[in-house]
Amino acid sequence: MFNKEKWKVSLQYELLLLPALVGFIIFFLYPSVQSFMYSFTNYSVNKLNYSFIGFRNFIDVFQDDRLIASMKNTVYFAIASTVLQNILAIPLAVALHSKIKTKNILRMIYFMPWCFSGLIIGFLWSFILSSSDTGLLNHVIHQLGIHFLPSNWLGEPSLAMKSVIFVAVWQTTGWAMIIYLANLQSIPAELYESVTMDGANKFQAFWHITFKFLAPAMTINVLLSTIGGFKVYDQILALTNGGPGYATESITFSIINYGFSENRYGYASALSVVMLIIILIVSMIQLRYFSKREESLS
């Protein structure tokens, strides 16, 4: 039976969602559909009378050596930053979950870098890692008389991407730590008591209980870190601007360059679609794997 009062209440709550829905359609759904349509054209600022060219843009993407290099850089960055971030965040969360008197202050200190934008962090570390005389890290190394370490952290192709990964991990580990901390607080203390009574040491308790029950937090962290790794742009812009050469250029960096610097909007849109497909495939594989791991806990 139709209830007029319930319908009015329901309508009021639905209307509260209207501004968010309008924003989603205008700023996400419509541009996404438009970008997908442009990916099959030769649209650019210099060619307003664009035409349909089919899959030509997609074919060119996989024949472009520069884009192949940017894809390899992006995959390398996403894997390395995700692995390092979680390897560091888990023991850090465990340590700050213990009865340390200054744990709240330490949590704030480790979490604070994530609160700043990637550009600010990137510009800060570009000063620290600069190869010039003003570079803080090189200045400290030389003052200590250490001459066997490399000095061109951002200008050497073999070091530039590693430096970008280091900065990204330094900034985001605190965020991953907070997610793991929240999960640690939900693990029953009785489990630790029972394994201790059975003669398990701290490492065994960590491996069989802590690491096992951190599966939900690990799913979130790995998924978000991987997606963020594939979309990396701001740290690269601030630290290396894609150089030296194309040694640190990412897919997102290439999309913006082709779209806004070279005005090849159709080509940039095709590359965006390729990146979206890659992220969807990787995310689905990760979710399937980690979902099975979480199901094993129940």
Q: How high is the mean pLDDT in each 10-residue block of the chain (298 residues)?
A: 67 83 91 92 80 92 91 95 96 90 91 93 92 78 76 87 96 95 89 81 85 91 94 93 91 92 90 93 91 75
Q: Rounded to whole angstroms, how far apart are CA atoms 9 and 21? A: 19
Q: What is the pLDDT of residues 182-241, one digit of tens each?
A: 999 988 888 888 888 878 788 888 888 888 889 999 999 999 999 999 999 999 999 999
Domain ranges of the chain: 64-295
Contacts of 77 by beta carbon, 8 Å cutoff, 6+ apart: 161, 164, 165, 168, 229, 232, 250
CA 37, 25, 278, 251 torsion-angle sign: positive
Contacts of 111 by beta carbon, 8 Å cutoff, 6+ apart: 174, 175, 177, 178
pLDDT given for residue 30 in this prediction: 93
- How distant, in Å, are the alpha carbons of 15, 135, 275 from that of 278? 36, 37, 5
pLDDT given for residue 2 in this prediction: 53
pLDDT given for residue 33 in this prediction: 92
- Give the Cα-Cα-Cα angle 111, 288, 89 (nearest 5 degrees): 20
Cα–Cα nearest to 107, from 162, 166, 185, 168: 185
Length of the chain: 298
Orientation angle between helical segments 65-97 and 215-230, nearest 10 degrees? 150
Q: Rounded to whole angstroms, how far apart are CA atoms 240 and 232? A: 13
Q: Which residues of 44-57 are buried (b: 16+ CB within 10 A; e: fewer)?
A: beeeeeeeebeeeb
pLDDT given for residue 298 in this prediction: 60
CATH no., domain 64-295: 1.10.3720.10
- pTM higher than 0.85, yes or no? yes
Q: What single-letter amino acid sits at 264?
A: R
Q: What single-letter amino acid sits at 261?
A: S
Q: How far apart are the first and last CA of the chain?
A: 40
The tokens for 232 are 């990396």
Contact between 225 and 88 (Cβ < 8 Å): no
Burial class of residue 119 in the structure, from the number of CB atoms within 10 Å of its CB (0-12 exposed, 13-18 middle, 19+ buried): middle
φ/ψ (deg, to 5) at 52: -75, 130
pLDDT given for residue 137 in this prediction: 86
